[in-house]
Amino acid sequence: MTTKAPSKVRPTNASAPEAIAYSAVEGIPTVEPHDRDRLGYSVWMWLTTRRDSLEQAVRSANVRLTISHEEAMKIIEERLRQSGVSL
């Protein structure tokens, strides 16, 4: 057992791709929280590589949504536009 305080965590820059990706999927209703994490990771991969379409990146995440896929896409696209990402 240690008596040292935990290391401090530095917040990520709001304009960093990972911050943009995970904030774009924040609050999207999924069956489990890990589904949302996987969705955020897929959006981050799309932001950094742009290999396929955003639609394909979201579908490849295989998340279990409690809303329709189309609704989730609208939310993600709108949040990405608000963050200054060109689609």
User: 15-32 as b/e, with b when 16 or more CB fall inside 10 Å?
Assistant: eebeebbbbbbeebebee
Q: Each residue of 26-83: pLDDT tens digit?
A: 999 999 989 999 999 999 999 999 888 999 999 999 999 999 999 999 999 999 999 9
Task: Tell me what pLDDT residue 47 has.
Answer: 94
For the beta carbon of residue 65, count every other beta carbon within 10 angstroms: 17
For 29, 74, 84, the CA distances from 67, given in Å and listed in that order, are 7, 11, 25
